[in-house]
């Protein structure tokens, strides 16, 4: 399945762009508006979902079911639709809903295609800034207002000169947070709160490391595809596959990955 014919690769890329276009028409209509129908999906902590999340995923699914009817679809809001092709589209209509409801342009729509080994194509789309990062099949690109440019990672020379991102300062459990803080003490700069946009920046060559914990498959499969196509590495905190979520380490080079992994491995297994 990794050796797809060129015509199939092109069809998948076209479908991914069409799906992202459909989602952006929905999300931009609601962004910085008041008609969000905000709800909390969790007990004990704040995990928001809005009308825009649900409608955007429905719009993506409508496109995919028209142009890729044999593929499966797994989405954060609407669950699993079985398919027959061996390919699954994995969707997060708004990754960073907290940022979305706050009016910050750091959320994004995540669309990816995976086979039985992991993601092979991914899109991180930020329609408000007009940035669409797409990666797969050996190429990574930034599409912005009709212009297309190739993107690639730009690793720092060493851990002490690197820029590290994570979304939440707490970074999961007490043990995971301690491991993250140990890593943060070794880098040049640590920043917070970017959700999927941090992964896009790593792929585009402006940051060097992203470390998170407690992620789901739909949070990370598109970033994995984009970052790998741009020359980076994404694994779990033990160096294994990360496409099912959990603890995530994204790095711009093998050297940075190895150095960060050595620190993070101090965290016990959950």
pLDDT tier for residue 42 given thresholds of 50, 70 and 90 = low
pLDDT tier for residue 3 given thresholds of 50, 70 and 90 = confident
Lowest mean pLDDT among 1-5, 80-84, 137-141, 167-171: 1-5
Closest of 207, 160, 158, 156 to residue 186, by C-alpha = 160
Q: What is the pLDDT of residue 179?
A: 95
Please give the share of the chain, as a percent, with pLDDT higher than 90. 86
Closest of 107, 75, 76, 135 to residue 195, by C-alpha = 107
Report pLDDT digits (tens) over 151-186. Answer: 999 988 899 999 999 998 888 899 999 999 999 999
Q: What is the pLDDT of residue 1?
A: 43
Q: What is the pLDDT of residue 169?
A: 87
Q: What is the pLDDT of residue 123?
A: 98
What domains can you pick out in the chain, each with its CATH number?
6-150 (3.30.540.10), 159-264 (3.40.190.80)
Report pLDDT digits (tens) over 77-116. Answer: 999 999 999 999 999 999 999 999 999 999 999 999 999 9
- 214 token code pair: 């407690």
Mean pLDDT of the chain: 94
Residue with tokens 């342009």: 105
Q: Is the pLDDT of residue 22 over 50?
A: yes
Quote the DSSP letter at residue 157.
S
CB 212 within 8 A of CB 236: no
SS3 content of the chain, % helix, strand, coil (to 5): 35, 30, 35
Q: Is the pLDDT of residue 232 over 50?
A: yes
Closest of 204, 197, 229, 231 to residue 149, by C-alpha = 204
Q: Where are the alpha helices (DSSP H) in the chain?
A: 6-30, 51-67, 97-102, 174-184, 196-204, 217-229, 254-264
Q: Is the pLDDT of residue 47 over 80?
A: no
Residue 139, strand partner residues: 136
Q: What is the pLDDT of residue 35?
A: 83
């Amino acid at each position: 399945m990794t050796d797809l014919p060129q015509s199939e690769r092109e069809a998948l890329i076209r479908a991914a762009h069409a799906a992202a276009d459909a989602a952006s028409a929905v999300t931009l209509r609601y962004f910085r508006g008041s008609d969000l129908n905000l709800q909390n999906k969790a007990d004990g902590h704040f995990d928001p979902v809005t009308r825009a999340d649900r409608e955007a995923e429905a719009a993506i699914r409508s496109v995919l079911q028209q142009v890729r009817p044999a593929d499966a679809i797994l989405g954060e809001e609407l669950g699993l639709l079985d398919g027959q092709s061996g390919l699954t589209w994995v969707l997060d209509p708004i990754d960073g809903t907290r940022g979305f409801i706050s009016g910050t342009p750091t959320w994004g729509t995540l669309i990816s295609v995976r086979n039985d080994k992991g993601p092979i194509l991914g899109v991180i789309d930020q329609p408000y800034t007009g940035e669409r990062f797409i990666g797969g099949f050996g190429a990574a690109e930034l599409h912005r207002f009709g212009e297309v440019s190739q993107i690639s990672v730009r690793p720092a020379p060493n851990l002490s000169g690197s820029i590290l991102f994570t979304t939440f300062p707490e970074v999961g459990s007490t043990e995971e947070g301690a491991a993250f803080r140990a890593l943060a003490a070794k880098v040049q700069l640590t920043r917070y709160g970017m959700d999927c946009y941090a992964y896009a920046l790593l792929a585009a060559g402006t940051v060097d490391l992203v470390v998170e914990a407690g992620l789901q498959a739909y949070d990370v499969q598109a970033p994995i595809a984009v970052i790998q196509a741009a020359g980076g590495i994404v694994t779990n905190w033990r160096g294994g596959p990360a496409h099912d979520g959990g603890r995530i380490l994204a790095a711009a080079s093998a050297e940075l990955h190895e150095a960060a992994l050595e620190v993070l491995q101090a965290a016990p297994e959950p």
